[in-house]
Structure 1
């Protein structure tokens, strides 16, 4: 579906292009599955009294794997469940080491809440796309892309930006929509951006 707000027309792809994209998606998925199996092996092979640095490193790698899988093709619910289960096991180990330390326990609780919130954001494809290091969303396409999202997806995406970035997005979106007819839905998304920016304590540069 064409988005008239984009700076250039969306290319039309043929069957061969689609097959190549599917091949690349499959290769990416196979590579990830291999990486996930490696993480599982690391988790089940942890010896007793393992140094905390190894546990924390594995936990960080699991968090990154969850984020990576959210941007892959096909249904990732199975991989997500596996990563969640592994993370629960790892966190139990971490919690046992913090038993009785109220500050450490409080920090772990806050970390788990932050992780749950991050996982929820990753349910929105736009969030996973934006977080990919090789995202296909160009800098000059970002405003147009966000203006085409649903209110819920836009709210999730906006949480990734700081006040300065939000201000720039609002200004770019205003310029993009200025004088354009038939953009009522996009205007609604712009208003949502403006409200979000105001709540974040920022102001647009225009």
Structure 2
């Protein structure tokens, strides 16, 4: 008798991917079989990633607090980029990390105000800073989708071989967000591999209308993206 693995209410990236694989016919038979031991191991890895992140994040915050008022701009921008990476990683961690993400946003805002003060007489620089702020806000919003955060996770929790079944099994609204991460060339390869997956195992594809619909969505996104680049 098999038992259903018990997944956490607020899992981290490793455990989330186990849940995607569990009894999912888009994955190979071996990949879709998840044991309780697999879940516990994934939780340990997620906890280790959280602890490692918190240690690094506290170091980054300490550097921000100790910044000299006359520090050079490249040091400030390097710190800002580190905070951006911290937000990206925090978005995929186990548990509720909303307070940490809010703290990162406040720190980035403080840094950007300092950068703006140094460029207050440069209209071109200010316009570029506005564009960067808008792009960051959109990226942070995109990271609220767990699959986006997992695909960008520095620990590569979604192996290359799992990408296609993961995309084909995603909810349509989630897939729409995820596809913005890929280039034209990557989308072309994804479409090729997705076709191969569905054609190579027709028995697994029986009844998986969402998988076939997702392939159509990926094809439409690739066409639209290519058209936009042609116009530009």
* TM-score over 0.5 (shorter chain): yes
Moved more, 127-136 or 51-60: 127-136
- Structure 1 residue runs of 4+, over 6 Å off? none
What is the rounded CA distance, in whole Å, between the counterparts of 1:83 and 1:71 in structure 2? 15
Kept in 2: contact 1:127–1:156 (CA 8 A) = yes
* Contact 2:89 2:154 (8 Å CA) reproduced: no
Unaligned ranges ≥5, structure 1: none
Count of matched residue pairs: 201
Question: Is 1:200 equivalent to 2:225 in the alignment?
Answer: yes
Q: What is the alpha-carbon distance in structure 1 between the residues aligned to residue 42 and residue 192 of structure 2?
A: 34
Q: How far apart, CA to CA, are the structure 1 residues paired with 2:24 and 2:40? A: 24
| Aligned partner of residue 159 in structure 1, secondary structure | helix
Alignment of 1:118-157 (within 5 A): 118-157=139-178
Structure 2 length as normaliser, TM-score?
0.81
1:102 match: 123
Show the counterpart of 1:39. 60
Contact kept? 1:121, 1:127, Cα under 8 Å: yes
Cα distance in 2, alignment partners of residues 18 and 197 from structure 1: 35
Unaligned 5+ residue runs, structure 2?
Answer: 1-21, 228-232
Which residue matches 1:29? 50
Counterpart pick for 1:11 among 30, 33, 36: 33
CA RMSD of aligned residues (A): 1.6
Conserved? CA contact 1:177–1:183, under 8 Å: no
Shift of 1:17: 4.1
